[in-house]
Amino acid sequence: MEYRDACELLDADHIAVKHLFVGYARLAVAPDSPDAVNRLDIAMKICDELSVHAQIEEEIFYPALREALPADGDLLDEAEEEHAQAKALIAQIREAGAASAEVDDLVARLNRAIEHHVKEERDELFPKARTAPGMDLVALRDQLRQRQQELVSMTAA
């Protein structure tokens, strides 16, 4: 799949993780059901995918935006603060050894936090990135993809 630019690549991650959240909610069942194992697997996959996504944004996308949009630093500060909040929830989910109502609650909170954050990226950051002078969103797409592949192979190892 060839993405048009960095924003489209990042939004594909947003869509993929949304599908995982929906899949998780669909499996919300009694903790002793066989589906409980799948549910925890999905929760861990959500954590892995969001961690890689946040890392490539923080390493590559946000710094490029900061440089191209010096007046929008507060927007990026807010985005990074939301990443920190999501990471705190991710850390709690990763500590869970089994599916439980508590993990369901954490995953639901993470879903809401990510929904809010993605909306801001889609409605504010991406349009600004696409009109910012001097942003090469195609070169950034390639950098993001390369780092993403590196991090995914490290997670799988």
Task: Kindly indicate which of the ranges 18-26, 114-122, 130-138, 142-150 contains the residues binding Fe ion, using the contact rule CB under 5 A.
Answer: 114-122
Task: Kindly indicate which of the ranges 31-39, 51-59, 88-96, 137-145 contains the residues binding Fe ion, using the contact rule CB under 5 A.
Answer: 51-59
Q: Minimal distance in Å, beta carbon 51 to Fe ion?
A: 12
> Binding of Fe ion at residue 5 (CB under 5 A)?
no
3-state DSSP helix/strand/coil % of the chain, to nearest 5: 85, 0, 15
Binding track over 119-138 against Fe ion, x by CB under 5 A: --x-----------------
Q: Minimal distance in Å, beta carbon 58 to Fe ion?
A: 8
Helix (H, G, I), strand (E, B) or coil at 146: helix
Instruction: Region of 11 please: left (phi>0), alpha (psi -120 to 50) or beta.
Output: alpha
Instruction: Using CB positions, name the residue nearest to Fe ion.
Output: 57
Among 50, 52, 56, 57, the residue binding Fe ion under the rule CB under 5 A is 57
Q: How far apart are CA 67 and CA 23, in angstroms?
A: 38
Q: Which residues of 25-48 are buried (b: 16+ CB within 10 A; e: fewer)?
A: eebeeeeeeebbeebbebbeebbb
* DSSP-derived secondary structure letter, 64: H
Q: How many residues bind Fe ion (CB under 5 A)?
A: 2
Binding track over 75-94 against Fe ion, x by CB under 5 A: --------------------
Q: What is the token pair recorded at 141? A: 């797409």
The residues binding Fe ion (CB under 5 A) are 57, 121
